[in-house]
Amino acid sequence: MAVNDGLSRLVARARPRHRTTTEFVEATLREAILTGVIAPGTPLRQEELAETFGVSRMPVREALRQLEARALAEFHPHRGAVVAEISAADGADIGAIRMALEPMALRLSLPGLTAADLDQAEELIAEMDGEADPGRMGELNRRFHMTLYARAGRPRLLALTEQHLLAADRYLRFQFAALGYRPRSQDEHRVLLAACRAGDADTACRLVTEHVGQAAEQLTAFLEAREAG
């Protein structure tokens, strides 16, 4: 029943949106892992999951395979899957990938950004200001970044970027769960947006790189301390 706890709530609502059961199971499990509903290292027992989803083991197995390919679950032959662990090394890895992808996405997107896009980004900053719920905060932050990248016209690059934004978010939630959540200043986001409004690609790219880099550094510092202690 360890997994069941928070999961069954997610299961209840989202069913009809998906065309196949596998799709449904995969999407729900992915969200559960990313939002921390299922903790890192938790064994993902097929029978147990099948029961909470109200399906057979087969769609569960297919979903687990997809999660493995996305590095959200680890497979051990004949021993089953576990939720991907959280480690300082992997956190640094995700940070490095973000530092590579996001400036590229921004540079491609910048010329195509509309006034409406920039206004929406502004609104998202306003919403983030003083947001008390860390989960909501993560979502707003992600949407802010993705709004700036949206006009890159590179679906695959954007999907990869969002995937790693989500992975980073998972790490942040984990940190908040351990250290408590304290809302951060939105100054960095504001100057980034200003550079985008000015159409200054070089500055904007430098700012996201720094922004992402700093976030990754803080995170790995916490994770390394935790692994040492």
Query: What does the binding site for DNA look like in residue numbers (CB under 7 A)?
Result: 20-22, 43-47, 55-59, 61-62, 75, 77-81
Quote the CA–CA distance of 228 and 205 in Å, as a whole number.
Answer: 34
Nearer to DNA, 16 or 155 (CB): 16
Under the binding rule (CB under 8 A), the answer on residue 55 touching a copy of itself is no
Is the distance from CB of 143 to CB of 124 less than 8 angstroms?
yes
- Angle, CA of 80, 86 and 88, to the nearest 5°: 140
Nearer to DNA, 63 or 166 (CB): 63
User: Partners of 75 in the beta sheet?
Assistant: 81
In the set 154, 184, 190, 206, which binds a copy of itself (CB under 8 A)?
154
Under the binding rule (CB under 8 A), the answer on residue 168 touching a copy of itself is no
In the set 31, 51, 68, 224, which binds a copy of itself (CB under 8 A)?
68
Under the binding rule (CB under 8 A), the answer on residue 22 touching a copy of itself is yes
Residue 93 CA to its chain's centroid (Å): 14
All residues at 6 or more sequence positions from 163 whose CB lies less than 8 Å from its CB, including other chains: 70
In the set 36, 103, 134, 138, which binds a copy of itself (CB under 8 A)?
103
In angstroms, what is the minimal distance from the CB of 210 to a copy of itself? Answer: 14
All residues at 6 or more sequence positions from 7 whose CB lies less than 8 Å from its CB, including other chains: 28, 32, 37, 38, 52
Under the binding rule (CB under 8 A), the answer on residue 87 touching a copy of itself is no
In angstroms, what is the minimal distance from the CB of 227 to DNA? Answer: 23
Is the distance from CB of 207 to CB of 188 less than 8 angstroms?
yes
Q: Count Cβ atoms below 10 Å from residue 112 Cβ, excluding itself.
A: 11
Alpha-carbon Rg of the chain, whole angstroms?
A: 19
Under the binding rule (CB under 8 A), the answer on residue 96 touching a copy of itself is yes
In angstroms, what is the minimal distance from the CB of 28 to a copy of itself? Answer: 16
Give residues in contact with a copy of itself (CB under 8 A). 19-20, 22-23, 61-62, 65-66, 68-71, 77-78, 89-90, 92-94, 96-97, 99-101, 103-105, 108, 152, 154-157, 160
